[in-house]
Structure 1
Amino acid sequence: MRLGFGTSQALVTCPTGATHLEKGQPCQDACMVAQHYYRGVPYTVMVVADGHGSAKYSRSDVGAHFAVEAAGDAATELVIGLASMREEHPDDWHKQMQHEVSHRLGRVLVQRWRTRIDEHAAAYPELGVEPGSDACLDRYGSTVAMVIIYDDQWLITANLGDSSIYLARREGNGYDIQELAAQNRESFGLGTDSLVSPRANYLWRSEILSTTDEPPAMILLTTDGLTDSVGTPQDSIVDLCEQTMCHGMDWLARVLPQQLARWSADGVGDDMGCIVWFPTLSPPSSASDSNHASSSTNPDTPEQVAPVRQGHSGTMGASETLDSTSATRVQPAMPDMAGNEPVASSAGSSSPRKAQNDKGNVHGEYL
Structure 2
Amino acid sequence: MSALAAEVLQPCADDIEDILNLLGRVWPQLYGATGCPAFSAGYLKWLYSGPDAEKNHLLGFRDESGELIAFKAALFRSIRISGEIRSAWLTSHLAIAPELPFARRMEVSAALSRLHGLDSDEKHVNIAYFEADKPIARNARRLAVKAGLEVAEQEFAQHIVNLRKLRAFDAGTDDIQIAELTQNDCPDLVALMGNHSSDHGPIWSPTAEGLGHHLLNAPENFAITARDKNGVIIGAAGCYVLEYLRDDQVSRMFICETLIADDPAVANQLMRTAHAHATELGLRGIVVENATHLNADIHAACGLLKTPRRMIFAMRGRSLPDVSPTMFGLDIK
Could you say which TM-score interval applies, normalised by the shorter chain?
under 0.3
> TM-score, normalised on structure 2?
0.25
> TM-score, normalised on structure 1?
0.23
- Which structure shows the higher strand fraction? 2
